[in-house]
Amino acid sequence: MQENLSRFEELNTQVLGISVDSVYSHGAFAEKLGGLTFPLLADFHPKGEIAQQYGVYNAERGYTKRAIIIMDETGIIRHSEIILKGAPEVDGIISNIKALAGEADNTNDQTLAE
């Protein structure tokens, strides 16, 4: 994600990382990747509370599934997907954001036309 961060910023999109690991683990993770400039959030205690709300917490194993969740500025989830293997497909995520922005623009246009 870091190498594509400017593409998200051009779309007025905030990238966040979240996991049930501690802040200290996130620091080590970010360092291992050569530094990250987007926020990493710790869903550490109570463990997985936020991830449970988004349906991506595996309580049996004690970790979160890898997922992409896109929400609008009001907090409504507009797209979500579980990443089963490998890195997320950035071009697909960008396309989804653009499509959602187009839907918002169309909704505004319809409202103004009425």
CATH code: domain of residue 82: 3.40.30.10
Tally of residues, the chain:
114
Domain that holds residue 64: 2-113
Q: What global pTM score does this model have?
A: 0.72
Task: Work out how many domains the chain is built from and give that number.
Answer: 1
pLDDT score at 105: 58
pLDDT tens for the chain, residues 1 to 114: 888 889 988 988 888 888 899 989 988 988 998 888 988 889 998 899 999 998 999 999 998 998 888 888 888 888 888 988 888 888 999 998 999 888 665 544 433 333
Per-residue pLDDT reduced to its tens digit, 32-56: 988 889 888 899 988 999 999 989 9
Distance CA 2, CA 8 (A): 10
44 in Cβ contact with 20 (< 8 Å): yes
